[in-house]
Chains A and B, each alone.
Chain A
Amino acid sequence: MEVRRKERIDRGIKVRSEGIYVVSSLKEMLYVAGPRLFLIVGLLLLPLVLEMAPYWKRVVNIMCVYGLLAISFDFLANIVGLVCLGGAMFIGVGGYMTAIFNVYLHCPVYLAIPLAGLSGAFICTILLLPCLSLRGVYFAIVTLMYPLLFTRIIEALNILGGTNGITGLDSFPNPYLENYVIIILLLVFMFGLRRLVDEDIGLVLRGIKDNDQSVRASGINVTHLKALAVFIASFIGCLGGAYLAHLYMWAGLSLFALDFSIIPIAAVTIGGGGSMMGAVLGTFILVPLSEFLRFFGTFRIVIYCLILTGFIVFKSEGLLTYFARKYDQFERWAKI
């Protein structure tokens, strides 16, 4: 019997465009920039394309909020090695902080959202600090508990509007601003995080995931860096939450809902972890899907979980890695 194996070889254009020589031809520059440009231009044009469908414009906004959460989950899980099971915590804290700034302290929108991001990130980091000096499942356990805990405390003490939530947040002055604020936030943070991960600090953060003892042996304070990473991730999440609160003009207990925890995880698993772009790809598949499945109610969560488990078990590399391979390499069967 003839024995064959699959051989993968880089495409010529990929090899040619790897170094500085990429600037020598327009075709190779397009090859490198193509996918990125497609994402940027596509996202920027999306609100204009959907001009006739205001409902779907809103879906795009929510999709971008989930995208922010997904890149923050991806950054924490696949770069630093901390699995955050409670993305809803970031959304909720950000949403409530912006409500406090906007409704109680009368800050305008453009001031309230960044302030909420910063203060929310600060609160989240302080709250998560006890489990950062440990490795293992502790971070997952504590982040799992916090969203439920916040809900209980707000219900029990009847603070911050209790079960009714805080109403009367300012909305955005016009619908275009509403769209583009979140789209630009998403693009900036996605490419920013990709750049950050390639810097020196990114290398150290990856080192923490792979072998924290050796990082510590190099005289680097691991807890400090983990806290920094959590601050960055929760800042991104809290900005998303603050935006969402202004979009709904309301901050309530549903900001701590389970969807905000599970969709980003599912998105990162489907899209492929570690590249941030995969996380965004995953949300762009899942969130519109969840709009079509609106009829099913809570059964949607079951569907996400099943897709998620399927991807983890059978296709753990994710879609983006798969597509990137097809883009960069060709495959052929070779005789052994």
Chain B
Amino acid sequence: MDILVYGIINSVSLSLLSLGFTLVYSISRLPNFAHGALYITTGYFIWQFLNGLGLSYPLAIMLGIALTSLIGAMMYRLILIRIRGMEISEIIATYAIGLAIIEGLRWGGLRGTTFTLPSFASGSRDILGVSVDDQRLLVVVVGFAVFALLHLFVHLTRNGLALRGIAQDERAAMMLGIDSDRMAIVSFAIGSSLAGLSAALILPLGNIVVEAGYTVLLFSIAVCVIGGLGSWTGAIIASFLIGFAQILTEKFLSAHFQMVIALLAIIITLLIKPSGILGRQKELEERV
């Protein structure tokens, strides 16, 4: 039973982590290798606001997420906009920015176990006979709320529809007067704030460590590739697959193998169905 409960919790947090990456990729076709770095940056900002400036916790979280989303938007506006379309440069630039942020934080003293965020909800309750602490429940609740809000946003609002338009067919959308660069900035802002939100929710469960930047990036990439790059529903399904696979490996093997499982899953996906579970890309576009 605890496999089921913790599997669901793990899967929801995974899909929260990877949603930002998927969103950015599906809209602007840019693989954001700085995703993990943005995640860990938010944690650092919140900690700094909380302990350095002495702000209240909700205010610190909101400021942290806003700042991260600003960083994401600026990253596109100042750097990526100039190299759009040059595939090699795009990959290298986002990777370099991500590395710069992560290693900069490591150098800036973000190591050891001193960096922790307080959890907002203490206490625990029994669900199906398994005791779960409230913070983890909150992750699940907020996760589902975010999925619902995002769904409503892209189906009902003007900006959301424009985002979907760009994601489906960039040229046709541009002919209808949708500014592709503006939408890419919006997608980076939303993607980074999703990374920030997941950081604010998940980081209180443990320490803020720099290495999390890499693991978050790898797992979100794994989820996206398996679900089909650019497909949101696919990403959510894939995060349930990987989430349960992780819990099972942790229970029956050891936690070290979690990353092995993720990579194996990627490779199997690439061998069997390269466009992922729900990938919308045509066979011709991907396979040589």
Contacts and interface: CB of A to CB of B under 8 A. Distances in A.
A137 B31 CA distance: 7
B263 A269 contact: no
Interface stretch (A78-86, A167-175, A230-238): A78-86
B235 to A, nearest CB: 14
B287 A133 contact: yes
17 contacts: A83-B87, A85-B91, A131-B270, A134-B286, A135-B288, A136-B286, A137-B87, A138-B225, A141-B266, A144-B218, A145-B259, A145-B266, A156-B260, A299-B103, A308-B92, A309-B97, A312-B92
Given A134-B270, A145-B266, A298-B103, A312 B257 contact: no
A309 B80 CA distance: 10
A138 B95 CA distance: 14
A85 B31 CA distance: 13
Interface stretch (A46-54, A92-100, A146-154): A146-154
Contacts of A296: 107
A16 interface: no
Contacts of B282: none
A309 B100 contact: yes
A302 B100 contact: yes
Contacts of A146: 263
Nearest to A273: B88
A78 B91 CA distance: 13
A290 interface: no
Given A144-B218, A313-B79, A155 B256 contact: yes
Contacts of A269: 92
Interface of B is mostly: helix
Given A141-B266, A156-B260, 16 more contacts: A83-B88, A130-B270, A130-B271, A136-B286, A140-B95, A144-B218, A145-B266, A149-B263, A152-B260, A213-B288, A222-B288, A265-B96, A296-B107, A299-B104, A305-B96, A305-B103
A223 B286 CA distance: 13
B95 A85 contact: yes
A218 B38 CA distance: 44
A308 B284 CA distance: 33
A65 to B, nearest CB: 20
A81 B92 CA distance: 13
Interface of B: 31, 33, 79, 82-83, 86-89, 91-93, 95-97, 99-100, 103-104, 106-107, 214, 218, 221, 225, 229, 254, 256-257, 259-260, 262-263, 266-267, 270-271, 274, 284-288
Contacts of B270: 130-131, 134, 138, 142
A148 B258 CA distance: 12
Nearest to B253: A156
A306 interface: yes
Interface of A is mostly: helix
Contacts of B88: 77-78, 81, 83
A313 B82 contact: yes
A262 interface: yes
A130 B267 CA distance: 6
Contact of A137 (B79, B91, B97, B271): B91
Contacts of B89: 312, 316
Given A138-B274, A262-B99, A316-B89, A152 B107 contact: no
Most buried by A among B31, B96, B254, B270: B96
Contacts of A155: 256
A262 B92 CA distance: 9
Contacts of A28: none
Contact of B100 (A141, A148, A301): A301
Contacts of B262: 145
Nearest to A316: B89
Contacts of A77: 88
A262 B82 CA distance: 22
Contacts of A265: 92, 95-96
A140 B96 contact: no
Given A156-B254, A298-B107, A316-B89, A305 B97 contact: yes
A258 B107 CA distance: 15
Given A137-B229, A148-B218, A309 B93 contact: yes
A155 B263 CA distance: 16
A142 B267 contact: yes
B221 to A, nearest CB: 5
A141 B225 contact: yes
Given A152-B259, A155-B256, A140 B31 contact: yes
Interface in A198-251: 208, 212-213, 216, 222-223, 226
Contacts of B285: 135
Contacts of A145: 218, 221, 259, 262-263, 266
A297 interface: yes
Interface in A99-130: 130
Contacts of B266: 141-142, 145
A312 B285 CA distance: 27
Nearest to B256: A156
Contacts of B274: 133-134, 138
Which 8 residue pairs are nearest across A and B when measured between Cβ atoms? A156-B256, A305-B100, A301-B103, A305-B96, A299-B107, A222-B288, A302-B104, A130-B270
Nearest to B96: A305
Given A144-B218, A309-B100, A149 B259 contact: yes
Interface in A283-314: 296-299, 301-302, 304-306, 308-309, 312-313
B260 A141 contact: no
A135 B286 contact: yes
Contacts of B267: 130-131, 142
Given A78-B88, A298-B107, A144 B96 contact: no
